[in-house]
Amino acid sequence: MSSNSTAVESSEGVKIGSFRLKITHLLLYVILGIVALVQLLPLVWLLLFSLKDNQEVFNLAPFALPSDPQWGNYARVWTDGNIGLYFFNSVIVTGSSVILTILLASFVTFAITRMQWKLNKLVLGLFMVGLMIPVHSTLIPLFSFFMNVGLMDHHLSIILTYTAFNLPLTMMILLGFYYTLPRELEEAAIMDGCSVHRMFFRIILPITAPVVATTAIINMIYNWNEFVFVNTFISSDSLKTLTVGIQNFIGQYSTDWGAIGATLVISMLPILIAFFILSNRIVEGMTAGSVKG
């Protein structure tokens, strides 16, 4: 009798534990659903905002549906507002600086972590000092430097600035992953007659794809949304990016709010698409290097 009662109590305990676990999971999903909804509300508001005219923007509730959706706002900003040109400039500046930053950071990180030379720790420390420098405190020195070398009002000034300031953070993310790479990979490659350059591009760089994807999206978000450097170094309308070009719709006496909303939606889409495409890689990259061995 005692063994049977013990078995019944054990079975009931398992059922109660399973029920509590289901309740916990349900509460967790409800909380996460609420958080996701709160995160989506600004995107929904921006989409509705972009489909309204100035009168509806001020007269309707923020989340009210537009009575007459102004889809023409998107066509107008793309053609009359030069948003197509600004979008292309943003792609050029952002893409070039992201590629250059990742390549240079990978080169330096590989040299510091996988090669033995006297000043590697000193060089690493110099790069990490860059994390402590306020970015926009260098605005005036950079302005003077680019003016002297003839790079003012040129995309190269923006690309070099973004690359320099993103290098320390990119290297810091890459370091943890590079330290966990097994030495046997390099030893086997060298024994097969592989050169250092070929080993980096054919073996090391593909292995680091998850963490590279993480650094790419972080750099992309900063470069795409940056305003101060572009507004300071670029004066020609044909070279402006989206963040600066949006000012065209803000006039002295009137502002086209619907066009501004449409521009913001267009500028937001590339980042969202890139994040969804690289989301799995980003999760892998964030956990890469956290467990050694």
- Transcribe the chain into DSSP letters: -HHHHHHHHHHHHHHHHHHHHHHHHHHHHHHHHHHHHHHHHHHHHHHHHHT--HHHHHHS-TTPPPSS--THHHHHHHHTT-HHHHHHHHHHHHHHHHHHHHHHHHHHHHHHHHS--TTHHHHHHHHHHGGGS-GGGGHHHHHHHHHHHT-TTSHHHHHHHHHHHHHHHHHHHHHHHHHHS-HHHHHHHHHTT--HHHHIIIIIHHHTHHHHHHHHHHHHHHHHH--HHHHHH---GGG--HHHHGGGGB-SS-B-HHHHHHHHHHHHHHHHHHHHHHHHHHHHHHHTTSS--
CB of 110 closer than 8 Å to CB of 200: yes
Calculate ∠ Cα 91-94-98, nearest 5°: 135
**Helix 155-180, helix 209-225: angle, nearest 10:** 150
Q: How much is the CA Rg of the chain, to the nearest whole Å?
A: 26
Centre a 10 Å sphere on the Cβ of residue 91 and count the other Cβ atoms it contains: 14
Q: What is the pLDDT of residue 253?
A: 47
Per-residue pLDDT of the chain (293 residues; tens, 9 = 90+): 455 555 555 566 556 667 777 888 889 999 989 998 888 888 888 888 888 888 887 776 777 788 888 888 888 888 777 888 888 999 999 999 999 999 999 999 998 888 888 888 888 888 888 888 888 888 999 999 999 999 999 999 999 999 999 999 999 989 888 888 888 888 888 888 888 888 888 888 888 888 888 899 889 989 998 989 999 999 888 899 988 887 777 664 467 788 888 888 888 888 888 877 776 666 665 555 444 44
Domain ranges of the chain: 2-50, 82-287
CATH node for 82-287: 1.10.3720.10
The pTM score is 0.80
CB of 173 closer than 8 Å to CB of 214: yes
CB of 106 closer than 8 Å to CB of 208: yes
